[in-house]
């Protein structure tokens, strides 16, 4: 997989992933506005397939002062659980660190255990709750954040995370 900046031509595949990933997907216009927003960054992961290059996942985040705000991340359903989202998040972190970004924040559905596991692998912790945040279900959003200086660039596996916790206890 290669990771690079999103181009307008990637949007057809991104929109397909988006519709398959979320109960209330972003609109094409919202993605287009992110492409022209000066604080927004959109990265895509691409894989060379027999039919050509295909988008396998994407990440959308804002860099505002010393903060990285993660707005959206998704991977093609048939390619999940292959660390693609971890690689996208790692790449974004590697971009932000040298630019003086210190904090990473996001909101995630309380019920989205897979996403929460991903973020926990990068040392994100729950800092608060936005009650009724998601209009489609009224579900709460967990506010998660991490100190970018403390985040492992590649993320920790669950086994590594357990080991780190055990070392802190000893």
Q: What is the DSSP letter of 73?
A: E
Reply yes or no on whether 5 is catalytic: no
- Helix H, strand E, coil C: the string for 1-12 is CEEEECCHHHHH
Among 67, 107, 139, 154, the one annotated catalytic: 107
- SS percent in the chain: helix, strand, coil, step 5: 35, 35, 30
* Length of the chain in terms of residues written: 170
Among 13, 18, 34, 119, the one annotated catalytic: 119
Distance (Å, whole) CA 148 – CA 37: 23
Q: What is the DSSP letter of 153?
A: T
Reply yes or no on whether 119 is catalytic: yes
Contact 93, 148 (CB under 8 A): yes
Look-up of token digits 């990771």: 3
Positions marked catalytic: 107, 119
């Amino acid at each position: 997989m290669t990771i690079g900046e999103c181009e307008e031509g990637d949007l057809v595949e991104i929109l397909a992933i988006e519709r398959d990933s979320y109960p209330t997907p972003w609109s094409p216009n919202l993605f287009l506005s992110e492409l022209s927003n000066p604080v927004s960054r959109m990265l895509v992961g691409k894989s060379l397939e027999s039919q050509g290059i295909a988008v396998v996942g994407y990440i959308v985040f804002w860099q505002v002062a010393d903060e990285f705000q993660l707005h959206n991340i998704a991977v093609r359903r048939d390619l999940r659980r292959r660390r693609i989202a971890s690689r996208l998040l790692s790449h974004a972190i590697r971009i932000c660190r040298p630019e003086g970004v210190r904090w990473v924040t996001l909101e995630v559905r309380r019920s989205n255990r897979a996403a929460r596991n991903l973020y926990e692998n990068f040392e994100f912790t729950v800092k608060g709750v936005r009650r009724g945040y998601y209009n489609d279900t009224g579900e709460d959003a967990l506010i998660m954040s991490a100190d970018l200086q403390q985040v492992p660039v590649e993320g920790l596996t669950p086994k590594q995370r357990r080991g780190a916790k055990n070392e802190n206890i000893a």
